[in-house]
Amino acid sequence: MSDWIHNTLALIDWNAIGVWTLTGVLMTAGLVGTVMPLLPGPLLIFIASLVHVLLRPQSGVTWWCVVWLGLLTGIAYALDFASGALGAKAFGGSRWGIFGVIAGGLVGLFFPFPGLIVGPVVGGFACELLFAGKAIGGAAKSTWGALVGTGMGLVARLVIAIVMVVSFFIDAFWI
């Protein structure tokens, strides 16, 4: 009986199981990180594909897929970064307000979850009041636009992350 177990275990490709497990964990963390600010979601998905191709090139995932996922990663972060400023602009924000949203977003990167939301809001509101000379109502309107834009950016980043994971598995299993 122990020879049968030993022979059966010897037939299992443990390297493949390990690489696929690592890929799955990184991609899951990437999807979670897309909506949780402390994890770099799309970047983790891209890293998962890159590590997978490097460790298991015979698995069917192509370098074209890795390049495609890299492009999507760049688009996700560009949209995420610009969405708050575009939202502020759409709701009547001035150049100062847009600068404040961007500056607040950059400062917010160094703080946990609330910083990524509070930073652009406070930055945009403060710059609208202090530098653009807007009244509280106008500053609040453009700040609301920054918040709406940031929310739309989060949705866009989530959609892109899902497209990334689906693209990876399509390339791995169907192409």
DSSP string, 118-136: HHHHHHHHHHHHHTS---H
Structure tokens belonging to residue 65: 């897929």
Q: What is the share, in percent, of the chain residues with pLDDT greater than 90?
A: 59
Domain count, the chain: 1
Global pTM exceeds 0.85: no
| Structure-block tokens of residue 30 | 């990437």
What pLDDT is attached to residue 6? 78
pLDDT tens string 100-140? 988 988 888 787 667 777 888 899 999 999 999 999 999 99
Residue with token string 């700040």: 143
Residue 170 has pLDDT above 90, yes or no: yes
Which tens digits make up the pLDDT trace of 37-95?
A: 778 899 999 999 999 999 999 988 999 999 999 999 999 989 987 888 889 889 989 99
Residues in the chain: 175
> What own/partner pairs with CB < 8 Å and gap ≥ 24 does 131-137 have?
131/96, 131/100, 132/94, 132/95, 132/96, 132/97, 134/94, 134/97
Q: 60-75, pLDDT tens digit by residue?
A: 899 999 999 999 999 9
Half-sphere exposure of 106 (CA within 13 A, CB side): 6
pLDDT of residue 112: 67
Q: Which domain holds residue 21?
A: 2-173
